[in-house]
Amino acid sequence: MTQDSGQEPKKPIWRRTLIWGMPIAAVAGIFVAGIIFWGGFNTAMEATNTKDFCISCHEMGDFVYEEYKGTIHDVNRSGVGAVCSDCHVPKDWTHKIIRKIKASREVWGKITGKISTPEKFDAHRLQLAMNEWERMKRTDSVECRNCHDFESMMPEFQAPRARQQHLNAMETGQTCIDCHKGIAHLDLRDRADEDYLAALEAPNPEFIRKVPEEYLASLARIETIEAEEAAAAKAEDEAARQRIADAVANARADERAKVEAEMAGTASAVDEGVDVAPNIDWGTVASSDLTLFYPGQASFEWVQNGKTHGGARPLTQGGDACTTCHAKELEDIGNKIVAGGGGKNDELEPTPIPGKRGTIGATVQAAYDADNVYFRLQWQNAIHAPAPFVDGGKMDPDNQIKVAMMITGTGIEMGDQVGCWASCHADNTYMPFDPGAEAIAANGEVATALMAEETITKYLTESRTKVEVKGRRGKAQGGWDKLAEAAQIEQYLADGTYLDLMRVYADGSASNGYRLERRVENDGDIAAQAKLGDDGMWTVVFSRPLVGGVGDVPLESGKTYTVGFAIHDDYAAARFHHVTLDTTMALDDPEAQINVVGQ
């Protein structure tokens, strides 16, 4: 007879209770179902990240994708193109889900036909772009940096402008989207409000990062290489010039010998003019290279306007000088503008002069004694290129060349950054908003004060009560007729807020003055000479007192000055000249670009 032990038989393991009263079999089933669901959900979500899915609707395929094709993100030297999700969908799961939820609004736009035609899409695309700009700004452009991290972008493989701006970005807290809009799709930056852009693109201190040692080492290497290349190029140029000079000297010697033989000693010496620097030994004064480029209609307003000049933000907000970005690309800039291009819409030269050169390579030497400062410029003459819009092709028939030097005074807006560019306005003669003789005559009081009849000479912003920079709502840029009170202008002159201006003409005559409310030529001391040698080299020498008088920036040791040079060659006038960017000058300071040597 079998007795019952009183114990219930054990349940099979799959029926035993494990969690919240649920048997193991149920838990396992839920777990497996969860895996299947999650795998399916994740697979489906990842499917929405493919390029084919993104362009499956005609709005994306016909409008946006067509802009993307052929861009650097589609086709590049690495062979790895970026697809839509690489830029527009975060990689981490949490932010990816958030982005997908927000994308439902875009799906709604598709369903309702809000963006179904090119016209409808274009009407909304600025807002769509702004949504992306703001998202990338908030995340420190994390999608960009998944591929383009600052730490991996070595200066040795970047253009000079890019390497400097990336260095600035790390130090000030800029992020990729601040500068890189419209690199895969249509650039809409010029449609956005300037105040909005200024706020959006302002540096964020939270984005400041330590500059990697690898970056600084790479920067030092490329700067050393470029310095060596520049020195080699300079030596080659000097050698070529010397070969030409020697050949010319030998030819002249042979010709002189023949003439002397024929004239039996009756030949007379050639008078080359009076030496204005008799006590200066130029052979002991080192020369500095200057690249003067053709600027076209690039006014002070133009360079401050982000819709026309990509460097406006670094200039106006970052405090960069013009040379920060452009010092090593002046030849390219000058050649582009002189040929009728330049600017975002090739707007910088509407009246090109065929055959005019884009840049002038010059050398400058500077020295001083107890009383005066002396400058010596040399450059190669050019073949005559007639101006097609002037009878006879010569804008200034009396002067084959003119040379100007400007020294920046104190208190000038961005004076140390832009130098003499501070006086070049959009309403000067031959500029886009040149008022013309009729409008000038209609403002009789202002015209009288400016001594203007048909043209407006360059002026400083400080001399006007208002200068229109952005040209909003169709307003003319500049402020020629918004002249400040005479007492205010006199105070600026007394405070040193002006551009010291010296000009030398082809016949060796010269003028000394300044730029403030207009170009003023006074009786300031200046001596000059100009000569075109048989070797085709122009040599211009001029001097003025170290201290000088009204409108002269006093020069003294221990100070660094921002200066600029302009050359009107080939009978040019007005804006059809070549100019330098901001250049530093100091007395007995080898660190300055122009070291004025005491003798």
121-162 pLDDT, tens digit per residue, is 889 889 989 998 998 999 899 888 888 877 778 888 888 888
Q: Is residue 429 part of a domain?
A: no
pLDDT tens readout for residues 401-418: 999 999 999 999 999 999
For residues 18 and 71, state if they share a domain. no
pLDDT at 1: 45
pLDDT at 350: 95
Mean pLDDT of all residues in 491-512: 96
Nearest to 389 by CA among 341, 339, 351: 351
For residues 90 and 157, state if they share a domain. yes
**DSSP-assigned letter for residue 111:** H
pLDDT at 272: 41
Last residue in a domain, options 182, 211, 240: 211
Do 364 and 594 contact (CB within 8 A), yes or no? yes
Residue 266 has pLDDT above 50, yes or no: no
Q: Is residue 378 part of a domain?
A: yes
Q: Binning pLDDT at 50, 70 and 90, where does residue 432 land?
A: very high
Mean pLDDT of all residues in 95-102: 74
Reported in sequence order, the residue ranges of 351-397 that DSSP labels E, i.e. its strands, are: 359-368, 372-380
Residue 441 has pLDDT above 50, yes or no: yes
pLDDT tens readout for residues 571-597: 999 999 999 999 999 999 999 999 999
Domain count, the chain: 3
| Range with lowest mean pLDDT among 28-32, 90-94, 138-142 | 28-32
In terms of average pLDDT, the best of 6-20, 258-272, 308-322 is: 308-322
Mean pLDDT of all residues in 40-49: 65
pLDDT at 43: 65
Residue predicted with more confidence, 258 or 396: 396
377 half-sphere exposure, CB direction, 13 A CA radius: 27
Q: Which domain holds residue 31?
A: 13-46
The CATH number for 312's domain is 2.60.40.1190
Please give the Cα distance from 313 to 212 (Å, whole number). Answer: 24
For residues 362 and 505, state if they share a domain. yes
How many CB atoms lie under 10 A from the CB of residue 443? 16
Q: Is residue 389 part of a domain?
A: yes
In terms of average pLDDT, the best of 123-127, 250-254, 303-307, 337-341 is: 337-341
For residues 400 and 381, state if they share a domain. yes
Residue predicted with more confidence, 158 or 31: 158
Mean pLDDT, the chain, rounded, equals 86
3-state secondary structure of 405: strand
3-state secondary structure of 496: coil
| Range with lowest mean pLDDT among 145-149, 373-377, 456-460 | 145-149
- Stated as kind and residue range, the H or E segment containing 291 is strand 288-293
pLDDT at 276: 92
Nearest to 513 by CA among 497, 498, 528: 498
Task: List the structure tokens of 382.
Answer: 């050019």
Q: Which residues contact 210 (CB under 8 A, 6 or more apart)?
A: 170
For residues 67 and 36, state if they share a domain. no
| Range with lowest mean pLDDT among 187-191, 264-268, 530-534 | 264-268
Pairing of strands 519-522, 510-515: antiparallel
Phi and psi torsions of 541, nearest 5° = -125, 135
Nearest to 360 by CA among 595, 577, 50: 577
Residue predicted with more confidence, 108 or 65: 65
